[in-house]
Amino acid sequence: MRYLAALALLIAALLPMPALAAPASAHAPVCLLGIDGALGPATADHVVRGIDASHRRGCQLLVLRMDTPGGLDTAMRGVIKAILASRVPVAAFVAPSGARAASAGTYLLYASHIAAMAPGTNVGAATPVAIGTRPGEAPAQPGAGKPDGGASAMERKALNDAAAYLRSLAQLRGRNADWAEGAVRESLSLSAGEAQRLGVADLNAPDVAALLAQLDGRSVTVLGQERRLATRGAPLVEFAPDWRTEVLAALTNPSVALLLMTVGIYGLVFEFMNPGAVAPGVIGAICLLLGLYALQLLPVNYAGLALIALGLVFMGLEAFLPSFGILGLGGVAAFVAGALMLIDTELPGYGIPLGLLVPLAVASALLLFATARLALRTRRRPVAGGMVGMLATVERIGDSSGHEAWVHVEGESWRALSSAVLVPGQAVRVLGRSGLTLEVAPIVDKELP
């Protein structure tokens, strides 16, 4: 019997036991990362790298403090993928008071392991901007006026995709899925208190310290494993934007991208006009590549990009072709039209401001005027080279032998013949040319210029 009892204890010890929530170390830090403004490629890159860095530093929690009006769909989905694959629990915190998590911010709130909001904040209005209406207009409702609410097939497709995406995130985190779909289809919004009451947000806290106090002892599930947080009094590590994020943010500004592309093409044009100048070509090539890199990260309307490129090419060709300004003016018009439609979104901060577009167009027109004026002045100048430039040129004889001599004209040595006897050092005037021989005539000293 003793052997049977020992065998039973051994089997029991080898059986898999249910996993218990392991408390986080009391010394494990909490990481903090801010999302301020529109969510673009630079911010998305910063957040994705911050999630990876929080795991390497052994953080028990990453807090995303958000205040965003929305952002680009590609950037938003990249961040959500990183959150869902994170080995560190992520808490989305809409703060400080007065902040918002609109549009893409709503998706980030739903995707995070913990959703928290500060008093005086709001969440919602998650209708995709590209298929929605302009700010201040009510979204089209199904059945209003037309059976499909006036939306095209592509708009309905994008709307259904966005609604299903947010609903799936809600179901994954156990939050209010019906309201999530309404936020997409009807642009619904909620205050912080209403969001907690309706199961959209988990907590309300005035600041990060209060949030960490409320999260202390809370269990969260991360990649199928349950963890218990020990956030009270935990050291706070903040991930500030580094130089890479700042540079990427500057490059992906649509205004900066347009300026870089413009300077790049003008630099190449000046290099072609003055071969060997080097500096315009080097600067132009670098700026053009940086501009194209920035544009491939942005939602670009390729018709607008083609119009901008065509306009810049036309303005460059104006310096080489005698179009009397037609190419230049057409280039300015194409450049302005392309810049207005370049960015294919109505998100705030992603359009080309008229305050930049008008000076660029005026500067291009002035440059064309100066180039045309220089070309006309050059056209009116007398020919200074070739046979026309040689005629009437006064030179002195080098070696001579009677009626034949050698004369140095415009940096070249020519065989010269004259009806008069020529002597070395004598001044002669070029009268014409026969093949490779010049016809010259001696002149007296008083005729010399």
Question: What is the per-residue pLDDT for 137?
Answer: 43
Which pTM does this prediction carry?
Answer: 0.67
Kindly give, in sequence order, each residue whose CB lies less than 8 Å from that of residue 411, ignoring residues fewer than 6 positions away. none
The model's confidence at residue 138, banded by pLDDT at 50, 70 and 90, is very low
- The pLDDT of residue 14: 41
Taking 90 as the threshold, does the pLDDT of residue 314 lie above it? no
3 state DSSP class of 241: coil
pLDDT digit string, tens, across residues 34-82: 999 888 888 999 999 999 999 999 999 999 999 998 888 888 999 999 9
To the nearest whole number, what is the mean pLDDT of the chain? 79
Helix axes of 153-173 and 177-185: crossing angle, nearest 10 degrees = 160
Closest CA to 404 of 424, 425, 390, 418: 418
> Between 255 and 23, where is the model more confident?
255
Question: Where do we find the tokens 């060997």?
Answer: 276
Tens of pLDDT, residues 176-205: 999 999 999 998 999 999 999 999 999 999
SS3 416: strand
List the beta bridge partners of residue 222.
225
Confidence of residue 324 (pLDDT cuts 50, 70, 90): low
Asked whether the bond before 23 is cis by omega within 30 degrees of 0, the reply is no
Higher-confidence position of 77 and 309: 77
Confidence of residue 365 (pLDDT cuts 50, 70, 90): confident
Q: Tell me which range, 17-21, 299-303, 349-353, is most confidently predicted by mean pLDDT.
A: 299-303
Q: 88 pLDDT band (50/70/90 cuts)?
A: very high
The pLDDT of residue 130: 54
Summarize the confidence of residues 171-179 as an average pLDDT: 93
CA 398 to CA 424: how far, in whole Å? Answer: 5
pLDDT exceeds cutoff 50 at 310? yes
User: Which of 3.40.50.300, 3.40.630.30, 3.30.70.2190, 3.90.226.10 is the CATH number of 21-135+152-243?
Assistant: 3.90.226.10
Q: Is the pLDDT of residue 15 over 90?
A: no
For the record, the structure tokens of 19 come out as 């996993």
Split at pLDDT 50, 70, 90, the class of 398 is low
Beta pairing partners, 236: 30
Query: Do residues 420 and 389 touch, judged by C-beta distance below 8 A?
Result: no
> In which residue are the tokens 């001044």 written?
427
Q: What is the full DSSP assignment across 138-177? A: PPPPTTSSSTTTT--HHHHHHHHHHHHHHHHHHHHHT--H
Most confident of 171-185, 359-373, 377-391: 171-185
Q: What is the pLDDT of residue 9?
A: 46
Q: Do residues 298 and 252 lie in contact, with contact meaning Cβ atoms separated by under 8 Å?
A: yes
The Cα 307–Cα 332 span in angstroms is: 10
The predicted pLDDT at position 296 comes to 75
Ranges of each domain in the chain: 21-135+152-243, 252-380, 386-447
19 pLDDT above the threshold of 60: no
Residue 199 carries which DSSP code?
A: T
Average pLDDT of the segment spanning 388-401: 62
Kind of pairing, strands 394-409 and 236-239?
unpaired
- The answer to whether 53 and 81 are in contact (CB under 8 A) is no
Alpha-carbon gap, residue 102 to 70, rounded angstroms: 5
Query: Exposed e or buried b for every residue in 110-125, given b needs 16+ CB within 10 A?
Result: bbbbbbbbbebbbbbb
In whole angstroms, give the CA distance from residue 70 to residue 104. Answer: 4
User: CB-based contacts of 431: which residues, under 8 Å, 6+ apart?
Assistant: 391, 438, 439, 440, 441
Mean pLDDT within 360-387: 67
**CATH number of the domain at 386-447, out of 3.40.50.720, 3.40.50.740, 2.60.40.10, 2.40.50.140?**
2.40.50.140
Helices 73-84 and 104-111: crossing angle in degrees, nearest 10, is: 10
pLDDT at residue number 212? 93
8-state DSSP, 300: B
pLDDT band at 391 (very low <50, low <70, confident <90, very high): low
**pLDDT at residue 345, as a whole number:** 60
Scored b (16 or more CB within 10 A) or e, 149-176 reads bebeeebeebbeebbebbbebbeebebb
